[in-house]
């Protein structure tokens, strides 16, 4: 089931024939052509609001994150006056990765080429041999500044001074996620890997669930007749609720987050299997390491010995136990209504290159970035976000792996990553011309390609 919101399904854009979308068709050149990647790096990423980092990565004055995408690099830094974002100066890397550059007004480290220095706000602090240069206005010698904004605990940057405001760009996500306390979550773990695939191929694996039976068979029910469908399974077999927006998209399990009548029928037909819930939470914490809190395992354990937990009210009992166990360790657990749950859960594609899966007090985030100018390679970032307990949660530093096999990514992500080199090889086959999409399950992929065209060919 797909819900189409006010978007333009028929475009009058002058898209070259080899890259033109069909009604449910995406040509392969949009993934493998170097010229298409060049257009994205020239017209898409510089004009959109990009998820650069989390606020908790740049909390203290002097903390910075070097955000790289394709051939561009932007430094996000915390200054006395707030957050600043600047492009690199004259092609020389001034910072790498992330860290802290001293206190208060300490300058960014000297340029390793000519020893010039810039303040945290990007203004020039020291120009070596200044007497040998023509006098220039100060703004010509500072680091070029980008627009910057925050929402949901993310720091967004935009290289286009004329781009629409961040709140308009993100619509309808902020309104839908209001109350889930995303802005208070911290990075519990963070891994960044190089994948042998186009950034969109990596993205495609996480904005639909139709691939689950083939890729993640361990997520399916062993007995389909006596237990209710899993979230992944019910989506994969045609019970997905997709929403396509101007830029973004969302997909969710129709039975749990669609019309209340469907959810009620499911509860009446199957009830709840407390043992299956416990095994699911245990598996996700060990193999995906996200989408549940550690306190949720204690809640699931208690559910197994709670009267009525295997009946139609079992899910409500479980959600109550989750809240109780989370608050027992000091987590500021969200209070949201059923209407909010249905409007927000649970898998969002935040255009152009971020996916986040939201649950109560936690979130799993994916970000795909072009790796230099190679259309067959991308940088893929995975973050597990959680609301902190009473004793706090230190922000995890990123771990980088040139080969994802070295990253201990867990079974689910390893299965997804294993597919990507095969997809890349298949796309390059002379006999393959493009993706023919499932119109019920995969239109989220088509939707973001349509949105990309609005930036590349307007």
Pairwise CA distance, residues 15 & 390, whole Å = 54
- What pLDDT does residue 315 have? 85
Confidence at residue 102, expressed as pLDDT on a 0 to 100 scale: 41
pLDDT, one tens digit per residue, over 131-149 is 444 455 545 445 678 899 9
Six token digits for residue 299 = 């809640």
Task: Write down the pLDDT at residue 440.
Answer: 84
Each residue's pLDDT tens digit, 112-131? 434 455 555 655 554 544 44
Position 446 scores a pLDDT of 97
The overall average pLDDT reported for the chain is: 85
d(CA 448, CA 354): 11
Give φ, ψ of 362 to 5 degrees. -155, 165
% the chain with pLDDT above 90: 62
Asked if pLDDT for residue 271 goes beyond 80, the answer is: no
- For residue 448, pLDDT over 70 is answered with yes
Question: Which residues of the chain form CATH 2.102.10.10?
Answer: 50-162
Q: Residue 229: what pLDDT? A: 60
Mean pLDDT of 431-452: 95
317 compared with 441, residue with greater pLDDT = 317
Q: Can you spell out the DSSP letters for 383-412? A: EEEE---TT--PPPPPEEESSGGGG---HH
Can you tell me the distance from the alpha carbon of 358 to that of 240, in angstroms, rounded to the nearest whole number?
A: 16
65 to each of 107, 109, 120, how far by Cα in Å? 15, 14, 12
Q: Report the C-alpha gap between 200 and 352 in whole angstroms.
A: 9
Q: What number does CATH give the domain 1-48+169-271+333-458? A: 3.90.380.10
| Residue ranges, CATH 3.90.380.10, the chain | 1-48+169-271+333-458
The per-residue pLDDT for 252 is: 85
Residue 19: CA count within 13 A, CB half-sphere: 21
Percentage of the chain exceeding pLDDT 70: 77
Say yes or no to pLDDT of 86 above 80.
Answer: no
Lowest-confidence segment of 55-64, 140-149, 156-165, 172-181 by average pLDDT: 140-149
Judged on CB neighbours under 10 Å (0-12, 13-18, 19+), 82 is exposed
pLDDT at 202 over 90: yes
| Position 200 pLDDT exceeds 50 | yes
Q: Against a cut of 0.85, is the pTM above it?
A: yes
pLDDT of residue 269: 66
pLDDT score, position 302: 98
For 50-162, CATH number out of 2.102.10.10, 3.30.70.330, 3.40.50.10680, 3.40.50.620 equals 2.102.10.10
Q: What is the Cα–Cα distance from 310 to 271, expressed in whole angstroms? A: 6
Residue 72 has pLDDT above 80, yes or no: yes
Q: Tell me the per-residue pLDDT of 22-52, one tens digit each, with 9 for 90 and over.
A: 999 999 999 999 999 999 999 999 999 999 9
Could you tell me which residue, 316 or 373, shows the higher pLDDT?
373
Contact 288, 412 (CB under 8 A): yes
For 95-101, what is the mean pLDDT? 46
Which tens digits make up the pLDDT trace of 367-426? 999 999 999 999 999 999 999 999 999 999 999 999 999 999 999 999 999 999 999 999
User: What is the Cα 236 distance to its own chain's centre?
Assistant: 21
What pLDDT shows up at residue 419?
95
User: Omega of the bond prior to 103 within 30 degrees of 0, cis?
Assistant: no
- Binned at pLDDT 50, 70 and 90, residue 106 comes out as very low
């Amino acid at each position: 089931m797909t819900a189409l919101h006010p978007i333009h399904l028929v475009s009058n854009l002058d898209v070259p024939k080899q890259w033109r979308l069909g009604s449910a068709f995406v040509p392969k050149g949009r993934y493998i052509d170097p010229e298409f990647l060049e257009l994205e790096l020239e017209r898409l990423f510089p004009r959109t609001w990009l998820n650069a980092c989390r606020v908790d990565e740049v909390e203290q004055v002097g903390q910075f994150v070097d955000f790289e995408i394709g051939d561009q690099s932007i430094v996000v830094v915390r200054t006395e006056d707030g957050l600043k974002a600047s492009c690199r100066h004259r092609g020389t890397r001034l910072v790498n990765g992330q860290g802290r550059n001293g206190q208060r007004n300490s300058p960014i480290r000297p340029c390793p080429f000519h020893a010039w220095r810039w303040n945290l706000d990007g203004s020039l602090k020291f120009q070596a041999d200044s007497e040998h240069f023509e006098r220039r206005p100060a703004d010509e010698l500072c680091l070029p500044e980008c627009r910057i904004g925050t929402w949901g605990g993310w720091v967004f940057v935009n290289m286009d001074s004329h781009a629409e405001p961040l709140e308009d760009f993100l619509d309808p996500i902020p309104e839908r996620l209001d109350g889930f306390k995303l802005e208070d979550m911290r990075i519990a773990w963070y891994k960044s890997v190089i994948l042998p695939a186009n950034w969109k191929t990596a993205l495609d694996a996480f904005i639909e669930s139709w691939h689950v039976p083939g890729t993640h068979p361990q997520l399916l029910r062993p007995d389909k007749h006596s237990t209710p469908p899993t979230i992944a399974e019910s989506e994969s077999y045609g019970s997905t609720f997709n929403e396509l927006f101007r830029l973004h998209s969302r997909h969710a399990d129709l039975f749990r987050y669609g019309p209340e009548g469907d959810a009620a029928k499911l509860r009446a037909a199957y009830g709840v299997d407390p043992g299956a819930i416990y095994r699911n939470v245990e598996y996700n914490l060990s193999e995906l390491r996200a989408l549940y809190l550690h306190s949720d395992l204690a809640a699931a354990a208690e559910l197994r010995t709670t009267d009525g937990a295997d009946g139609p009210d079992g899910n409500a009992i479980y959600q109550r136990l989750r809240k109780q166990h989370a608050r027992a360790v000091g987590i500021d657990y969200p209070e949201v209504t059923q209407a909010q749950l249905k409007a927000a859960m649970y898998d969002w594609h935040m255009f152009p290159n971020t996916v986040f899966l939201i649950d109560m007090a936690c979130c799993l985030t994916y970000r795909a970035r072009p790796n230099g100018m190679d259309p067959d390679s991308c940088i893929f970032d995975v973050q597990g976000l959680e609301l902190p307990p009473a004793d706090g949660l230190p922000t995890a530093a990123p771990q980088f792996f040139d080969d994802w096999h070295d990253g201990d990514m867990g079974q689910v992500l390893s299965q997804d990553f294993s597919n990507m080199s095969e997809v890349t090889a298949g796309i390059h086959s002379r006999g393959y011309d493009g993706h023919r999409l499932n119109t019920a399950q995969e239109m989220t992929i088509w939707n973001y390609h349509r949105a990309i065209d609005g930036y590349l060919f307007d």
